A and B are shown apart, each in its own frame.
With several copies, the nearest count.
Chain A
């Protein structure tokens, strides 16, 4: 099993979600995070003074999948979250030892 962690632009969330559902992925967990990278932040103003906010709001998606879906999922995310501009985000792939569904106690593939 793999855990796909994707950092995406917030306004792409809806699109990514729909693309994933279309690809048969019907479970995920979202977190609001702040990202720092090559994409520059923005300037804010306060009483005539400017200050830079260099972190940007991002959404982190965590999706647990069986190994064979890896390609589908990464491709779905890449195509639906991409704008071609800096800051589109990243996808990390990590291996997961096991997963348990709390409700039933099922483990492994059944639990996803």
Chain B
């Protein structure tokens, strides 16, 4: 009886969720619910404002509209087939159709594979917010000239042909999962894909009228800063949410994410200060985004000191990459998606091999850990994703151009997309 009592007393004090691995943990669930809200905040309003402020007055609504429409279209496609093709089944490049229309997602269902302590419904929507932001990032490449119907079609195709397979390959049990590629929150899946796609799309579409030239400048820099702030705050959900639990991994992910953002911002600001004589607010904000993009894949494995280094490389390399693409190569990747996200994401993927903590990285790769081995795995991963993205982005944009014209006419471009495409104007007096 004493024994029984003891048991009961002990039990009475237990309130833990985790007793059997496959049960919902309310703390983890609370954190991923929150993270989902934070990642949605990154796109709406974060990215929308960041991009919207960077374009000219006459195009501000078109950019907001593009981000908004992408968020909606991707959400629907994710329900219809995106989630299923990304996270169900064992294919190398695509999953299977077991969860089409989310038919498999029970009200009480637990998440599959990793993330075992949260509901599957939550896993679906958390991942959906990643699927939303990736094509929305590509908006920066074709801003101020692409037609809205073409934009919708292209984004839907691109999600299907690039994002979903990349997601499946890296996170969903596909080829790169098998290879042991480490990518916590999307250096490859999100940033490399959108960055490379941006280059391809920018080259196919051609530059804006007046590029390069002094007329293509931000119409509302406070809006840019505001958007950047939401990206920063939201990114806590992006990276620390990707730890799937509310524990030490999430805490460290948040800390290193923040450090890299801060150092990336200061480095870019300083580089610009040296080059041009003045520090700028668009500069510090852009450096911050570069710092965030670069730490993204590594935020599950590096520590604070590694984050300082990653932030520094993000701020400096991405700054010079921006000069290169626009200044030297004269490619009108209008809002610098490739140099910031593409370069940052790939750099982070590669750096993490050397900056990671041993014990953690070996989880991802097979057997015991060796930085060089991991680096080669990561490099192969980059190769596959970059190649895949180049090919299928090109297919997506070309296919779109066969169905509907990609660009507005020259005069319409002068007039501005807000009026031409949406019969609206941003600001009235």
The stretch that binds B, out of A45-53, A66-74, A101-109, is A45-53
Chain A 35-76, CB-CB to B under 8 Å as 1, else 0, gives 000000011111111111100000000000000000000000
A87 to chain B, nearest CB (A): 12
How many angstroms from the CA of A50 to the CA of B212 in the assembled complex? Answer: 11
Establish whether residues B424 and A53, one from each chain, have CB atoms under 8 Å apart when the complex forms: no
Q: Which of B375-411 contact A (CB under 8 A)?
A: none
Establish whether residues B322 and A48, one from each chain, have CB atoms under 8 Å apart when the complex forms: yes
- The answer, yes or no, to whether B326 is at the interface (CB within 8 Å) is yes
How many angstroms from the CA of A51 to the CA of B216 in the assembled complex? Answer: 10
Establish whether residues B319 and A51, one from each chain, have CB atoms under 8 Å apart when the complex forms: no
Establish whether residues A45 and B276, one from each chain, have CB atoms under 8 Å apart when the complex forms: yes
Residues of chain B within 8 A (CB-CB) of A26 are none
Q: Which of these, A11, A14, A32, A51, contacts B217 with CB under 8 Å?
A: A51
Establish whether residues A42 and B419, one from each chain, have CB atoms under 8 Å apart when the complex forms: yes
Query: A9 — nearest CB in chain B belongs to which residue?
Result: B414
A18 to chain B, nearest CB (A): 12
Decide if the interface of chain B is mainly helix, strand, loop or mixed: helix
Establish whether residues B275 and A11, one from each chain, have CB atoms under 8 Å apart when the complex forms: no
Establish whether residues B214 and A51, one from each chain, have CB atoms under 8 Å apart when the complex forms: yes
Establish whether residues A14 and B215, one from each chain, have CB atoms under 8 Å apart when the complex forms: yes
Query: B275 — nearest CB in chain A belongs to which residue?
Result: A48
Q: Which of B212, B214, B215, B424 has the most CB of A within 10 A?
A: B214
B280 to chain A, nearest CB (A): 5
Q: Which of A11, A50, A53 has the most CB of B within 10 A?
A: A11
Establish whether residues A47 and B336, one from each chain, have CB atoms under 8 Å apart when the complex forms: yes
A94 to chain B, nearest CB (A): 27
Chain B 321-336, CB-CB to A under 8 Å as 1, else 0, gives 0110011000000001
How many angstroms from the CA of A53 to the CA of B322 in the assembled complex? Answer: 22
Residues of chain A within 8 A (CB-CB) of B414 are 11
Knowing A11-B415, A32-B429, A49-B327, the reply to whether A44 touches B276 (Cβ < 8 A) is no
Establish whether residues B272 and A44, one from each chain, have CB atoms under 8 Å apart when the complex forms: no
Chain B 300-324, CB-CB to A under 8 Å as 1, else 0, gives 0000000000000000000100110
Knowing A11-B414, A14-B215, A53-B214, the reply to whether A48 touches B423 (Cβ < 8 A) is no
How many angstroms from the CA of A48 to the CA of B340 in the assembled complex? Answer: 13
Residues of chain A within 8 A (CB-CB) of B322 are 47-48
Establish whether residues B278 and A45, one from each chain, have CB atoms under 8 Å apart when the complex forms: yes
Establish whether residues B283 and A48, one from each chain, have CB atoms under 8 Å apart when the complex forms: yes
Decide if the interface of chain A is mainly helix, strand, loop or mixed: strand
* Total chain B interface residues with beta-carbon distance under 8 A: 29
Q: Which of B411-429 contact A (CB under 8 A)?
A: 414-415, 419, 422-425, 429
Query: B281 — nearest CB in chain A belongs to which residue?
Result: A45
- The answer, yes or no, to whether B371 is at the interface (CB within 8 Å) is no
A2 to chain B, nearest CB (A): 28
A29 to chain B, nearest CB (A): 16
B57 to chain A, nearest CB (A): 10
- The answer, yes or no, to whether B180 is at the interface (CB within 8 Å) is no
Establish whether residues A46 and B429, one from each chain, have CB atoms under 8 Å apart when the complex forms: no
Residues of chain B within 8 A (CB-CB) of A45 are 272, 276, 278, 280, 282-283, 422-424
A36 to chain B, nearest CB (A): 14
Residues of chain B within 8 A (CB-CB) of A32 are 429
- The answer, yes or no, to whether B89 is at the interface (CB within 8 Å) is no
Q: Which of B253-309 contact A (CB under 8 A)?
A: 271-272, 275-276, 278, 280, 282-283, 286
Establish whether residues A48 and B214, one from each chain, have CB atoms under 8 Å apart when the complex forms: no
Establish whether residues A44 and B423, one from each chain, have CB atoms under 8 Å apart when the complex forms: yes
- The answer, yes or no, to whether B218 is at the interface (CB within 8 Å) is yes
Q: Which of A1-16 contact B (CB under 8 A)?
A: 11, 14
Residues of chain A within 8 A (CB-CB) of B286 are 47
Residues of chain A within 8 A (CB-CB) of B423 are 42-45, 50
**Chain A residues near B (Cβ < 8 Å):** 11, 14, 32, 42-53
A-B pairs with beta carbons under 8 Å apart, 7 shown? A32-B429, A44-B423, A45-B422, A47-B326, A48-B323, A48-B327, A51-B213
Extra A-B contacts (7), CB below 8 Å, given A45-B423, A49-B212, A51-B217: A44-B419, A45-B422, A45-B424, A46-B282, A48-B272, A49-B326, A52-B214
